[in-house]
Amino acid sequence: MIRTTIFPGRYVQGPDALKALGRELKRFGDNAFVIADPFVFEKIIPSIKASLLEEISAEIIEFSGECSDEEIDRLSAIAKGKTEVLVGIGGGKALDTAKAVAHNLKIPVAVVPTIASTDAPCSALSVIYTPEGEFKRYLFLPKNPDLVLLDSKVIADAPARFLVSGMGDALATWFEARSCEIANANNMTGNPGSMTAYSLARLCYETLLRYGEQAKNACETHIVTSALEKVIEANTLLSGLGFESGGLAAAHAIHNGLTVLEETHRYFHGEKVAVGTLASLFLTGKDPAVIDEVYDFCETVGLPTTLAEIGLGNVTDEQLMKVASASCAEGETIHNELVEITPQTVFSAIKAADAYGKYRKQE
């Protein structure tokens, strides 16, 4: 059986890592094209421009704010023939745009996240939206980013909710990868994952449990600590490798189902994934001790444990059945679970997770 594991070319993380960006980019050539989201363009670029230009020439363009085909085409036309490496700095949409532009131009890409809110930076994937911000399609890329660079001081200066959301996304990694391992299910490459991928997914979970609370406290104080560094790495690298090379299962499918309800749209990806993870524990009949361990963690770091905490305090059973049905759509990753998967079993799992979350809050 062929097993496949994929990685970014190089991962760099630490305080003031942005000062090393020029030196890292120099490995790819002498000319860079930098796509910076509006916050980065105004607040961060002025502080790193001198050190960047000491190493490499760079054209820096402000990102429009939407990862659309139109924006990708606009930036591709500007950069074509003028650069040897593409750089994206900012949130997920700026990074996805940089990946897509680099793919169009067939040149290396470096991504520089300014928050640690999801595991997407390391992945060979861009999510494409319409110019109005509606989901359009996934763009699966032939390779992962050549460089992922995170400055932990920048992450520490961002609101702690972003870091906590990243922990919610990462929380699913081990449970989904383990389900795929047991089922011999395919990962994002179309082949089963490796021992390495499953082991890194397990390390991701263990790191969150051990250091999550301390990392949140550090981020709230805007200081960089060893615990914060470990959780940034778990959120970004370990979870990225774990989901892409280990595989997805129920948690992310239930997240996708939750998005059919407009009330959830103002909540972060990782916050909804956390609810999907809790539901998956009941769906797959996990040991009560494991369930309590996960609820303890969510309550400690501030992840939602009830539907009310993702805008669904007044949700009806009819609405939840729509969520469950969408979670079970053909091709969804929930079918990687080795239990009966029907809208009814998923509906019951979501209700059970919500009920237990409410019960624990009353204790």
Q: Hey, which residues are catalytic here? A: 169, 252, 255, 269
Burial code (b: 16+ CB inside 10 Å, e: under 16) for 7-31 equals bbeebbbeeebbebbbebbeebeeb
Outline where 44-142 has alpha helix (H): 45-55, 69-79, 92-105
What contacts 98, CB < 8 A, 6 or more positions away? 35, 86, 87, 88, 109, 110, 111
Q: Do the beta carbons of residue 219 and residue 160 sit within 8 Å?
A: yes
Q: Is 37 annotated as a binding residue?
A: yes
Q: Is 277 annotated as a binding residue?
A: no
* Measured distance CA(18)–CA(48) in Å, rounded: 7
Q: Parallel, antiparallel, or unpaired for β 109-113 and 57-62? A: unpaired
Q: Is 115 annotated as a binding residue?
A: yes
Which of 297, 352, 302, 298 lies closest to 324 in space, CA to CA? 352
Outline where the chain has alpha helix (H): 21-25, 38-43, 45-55, 69-79, 92-105, 152-157, 160-183, 195-221, 226-233, 239-241, 250-258, 269-283, 288-301, 317-327, 343-362
Q: Is 133 annotated as a binding residue?
A: no
Q: Is 265 annotated as a binding residue?
A: no
* Measured distance CA(163)–CA(210) in Å, rounded: 15
Which of 240, 229, 239 lies closest to 16 in space, CA to CA? 229
* Measured distance CA(163)–CA(144) in Å, rounded: 23
Q: Is 93 annotated as a binding residue?
A: yes
Which of 69, 105, 106, 63 lies closest to 88 in space, CA to CA? 63
Which of 61, 59, 58, 51 lies closest to 23 in space, CA to CA? 51
* Measured distance CA(120)–CA(208) in Å, rounded: 17
Half-sphere exposure of 33 (CA within 13 A, CB side): 23
**Residue corresponding to tokens 């395919």:** 186
Q: Is 317 annotated as a binding residue?
A: no
Q: Is 125 annotated as a binding residue?
A: yes
Which of 210, 260, 200, 253 lies closest to 230 in space, CA to CA? 210
Q: Is 114 annotated as a binding residue?
A: yes
Which two structure tokens, joined as six digits, stand for 51? Answer: 């050190």
Q: Residues annotated as binding site?
A: 37, 92-96, 114-117, 119, 123, 125, 129, 169, 252, 269
Q: Residues annotated as binding site for glycerol?
A: 119, 169, 252, 269
Q: Residues annotated as binding site for NAD(+)?
A: 37, 92-96, 114-117, 123, 125, 129
